[in-house]
Structure 1
Amino acid sequence: MSLLLQKKVSNSVDTDNTTDTVTTEQADTLTTSAQRGKTLFEQHKCQSCHPIDGSNQLTPPLRGLYGNERKLKNDSTIVADEGYIKESIQYPGAKVVQGYNDNMPSFRDLMSDQELQEITDYIKALR
Structure 2
Amino acid sequence: MRLILAEYGEAVELVETVPWERSEQLLALNPAGTVPIFVDETDGPIIGATVIAEYLAETRGSRVGESTLMPTGPVDRAEVRRLVSWALDKLDDEVVGYLVTEKVLKRLAPSANGGGSPDAAAIRAARSNIRYHLRYIG
Higher helix share: 2
Tell me the TM-score range normalised by the shorter chain.
Answer: under 0.3
Q: Which of structures 1 and 2 has the bigger CA Rg?
A: 2
Return the TM-score normalized by structure 1.
Answer: 0.25
Return the TM-score normalized by structure 2.
Answer: 0.23
Task: Specify which structure has the bigger relative contact order, considering alpha-carbon pairs within 8 angstroms and separated by 6 or more residues.
Answer: 1
